[in-house]
Structure formats: structure tokens, C-alpha cells
Amino acid sequence: MNETQTREVVRLTEAPNPALAHIWEEALLDEGIECRVVGDYLNAGLGDIGSLRPEIWVHEDDLERAREIIAEHEREAAQHRDEEASGAQRMLRSREQTRGFYNKISSFYDSLSDVAEEPIRRAALELLDPQPEERILEIGFGTGRCLVSLARAVGPEGKVSGLDLSEGMIKVAGENLAVSGLTQAVQLQRGDATELPYADGSMDAILMTFTLELFEPGEREKVLKECQRVLGLGGRIVVAGLSKEGEDGILVRAYEWGHQHFPNFLDCRPIRVGQVLANAGFQVSRVERRNIGLPVEIVQADKAQGE
């Protein structure tokens, strides 16, 4: 929200938790209503997250329309609860909706995620341990933070490729690579991880952070089968993701509630990362567990022998 504007800013509502606050924020932005979330986890320590009640502020002349949009989403939540009670099938987000969602948030994604995700990305990179001259693929690279580190690690004789569904993320990642002087060192491509556009055995390693859990179970199997295909002999993969292992906290329940009731605005859900990789035929070699308010698994696994 531009502070130089003279339009009056007023409090719209208080959200019961940070996850729902950002669901509502995206709904308002999607309708062209400028808004700001105040008092969310970006300004709090991890120990304070469970008690946060963020507020959403809008311009006064948008207040009534904003209230209508929030009310509409509340009605949608109630409808989903009724459908689940009757055993009805929940509609899942389409690829185009996912693509559009990440296009919209690409320009401010880092401001939403860096506090929680950056330490996990660093840990995943350490576990992957990229080496000079290696060929490495990052799936779901987002704003390209890891691509910069990967390109520096493999050097001019190596090769780094990045695949993402969102043109917005590709644009931001390209800008970050340019600032680092690495535009020519990384090949960016838009595509679907269930059909990787790379040759068999063309990669030494694959990295995914907060990406695998975006896929439904059947799609995860396809993604990991494709990873097996493009990895060469002795290839490895590191996946970091929201985890169902360990104790559920308030944010786990908030995320699962948000995904259950607002799949068009919150498509993450915790999974058993190590188990998913093992079920796909990977040989899990190391698992690290972290907590960002939500439990996270960082898993290293090797390509199955004979694949």
C-alpha cells in the first residue's frame, strides 16, 4: 500500500491466524483491492506465532467491497464443510489457477517467505553439496535464491537448470540472476514437473524446496518418476518440504484447514517427505528435521540402483 496516497486507511478485520490473513489478503488483491496485513509472523518470533491475530487494513472507500469479499469466502468455507459432511468430492486447483496464483505473488513472495524459508533453503543446499562441473536441476525455483548458489558452486564447467510453472517467478529469478552476474550460467524454463523437459540421465542432482507438497499424491508419484528418469547413474535428490512427521502445531492445523477450505488460495499441505521419496523408489540416505512454526523435513536420497 503506497503511503504517499491521501486516501484514508481503515481496519477491515482481524484474522484468527496468519495463514488465513494471507488467504484473505490474496483474495482482496485478486479483486483489485489494495490492502495490508499488519501484525503477522513477519514481525514476530517463532514462539509468538500461535497467538498472533493479524489485522487487515484497506482504503476506506474499498471497505464495503472488501467486507463482501471476506464474507463470500466465509460462505465458501461453510459450503466446503457441508460438502465434506455429505461425502462430496472437493474441487482441486487446476494448473492454470496455480500458475496465476504464483504469478500474482511473485513480486512480493520473498517478503512473505524469507523469514521462514531462507534457513531451510540454506540447509537443503548444504545437504545437496553441489560440486564443480555438476549438472543440477532445481524444480520450483521461485525467485531464484538457490539458483544463484548452485551456479556459483558448479562453476563455468557445470550446468544449472531451473523449471517453474510461473512466468512471474521466472521473471523475478532472471532479475536476481542478472544482479549476481549469472544470467548466462542458468537455463530457466517454464514447465510442469510431471513432464520434465530434460533427457534421460541428464542431471547429477535435483533440488526441490517447498514444491513437492504442492502436488496431489498421484501427481507426486509422476514428479518423482520423472526425477528418477532424468537423474544419471549415482544421481541424488534433496527435497525440503512441510512435514506431517512429529507433533502437529497450530500452524499445521491452520495450513491444513486453509488448504481444505480454500484450495484456490492455499495449495500447500504437509506430507511425509522421506516416506514419499522411499515409496517412489529412492534410497533415503539422510533426513533432517527443522521447525518454522510448521515441522519441515529436509531429505537426501539417491537414485535407485538399476534405474
Domain boundary among 62, 90, 118: 90
Cα–Cα distances (Å) from 183 to 80, 148, 174, in that order, read 45, 9, 7
Domain boundary among 23, 55, 90: 90
- Decide: 237 and 231 in contact? Cβ < 8 Å: yes
Domain boundary among 90, 125, 156: 90
How many whole angstroms separate alpha carbon 53 and alpha carbon 254?
13
Does 154 share its domain with 255?
yes
Does 220 share its domain with 290?
yes
In tens digits, the chain (307 residues) has pLDDT values of 554 456 788 899 888 777 677 778 888 988 899 998 887 654 444 444 445 678 999 999 999 999 999 998 778 766 655 544 443 333 345 566 665 666 565 555 555 555 567 889 999 999 999 999 999 999 999 888 899 999 999 999 999 999 998 888 888 899 989 999 999 999 999 999 999 999 999 999 999 998 898 888 889 999 999 999 999 999 999 999 988 876 555 555 555 555 454 444 445 678 899 999 999 999 999 999 988 777 899 999 999 876 5
- Decide: 35 and 25 in contact? Cβ < 8 Å: yes
Radius of gyration of the chain (CA): 20
Give the SS3 label for residue 191. Answer: coil
How many whole angstroms separate alpha carbon 28 and alpha carbon 43?
21
Does 86 share its domain with 120?
no
Q: Considering the domain boundaries, does residue 100 fall inside one? A: no
Domain CATH number, residue 83: 3.30.70
Domain that holds residue 74: 9-90
Does 55 share its domain with 153?
no
Q: Considering the domain boundaries, does residue 67 fall inside one? A: yes
Q: Considering the domain boundaries, does residue 194 fall inside one? A: yes
Q: How many domains does the chain have?
A: 2
Does 249 share its domain with 118?
yes
Does 185 share its domain with 58?
no
**Which pairs count as long-range contacts for 88-97, CB under 8 Å and 24+ apart, including other chains?**
90/260, 90/263, 91/263, 92/216, 92/263, 93/263, 93/264, 93/267, 95/165, 95/192, 97/264
Does 175 share its domain with 74?
no
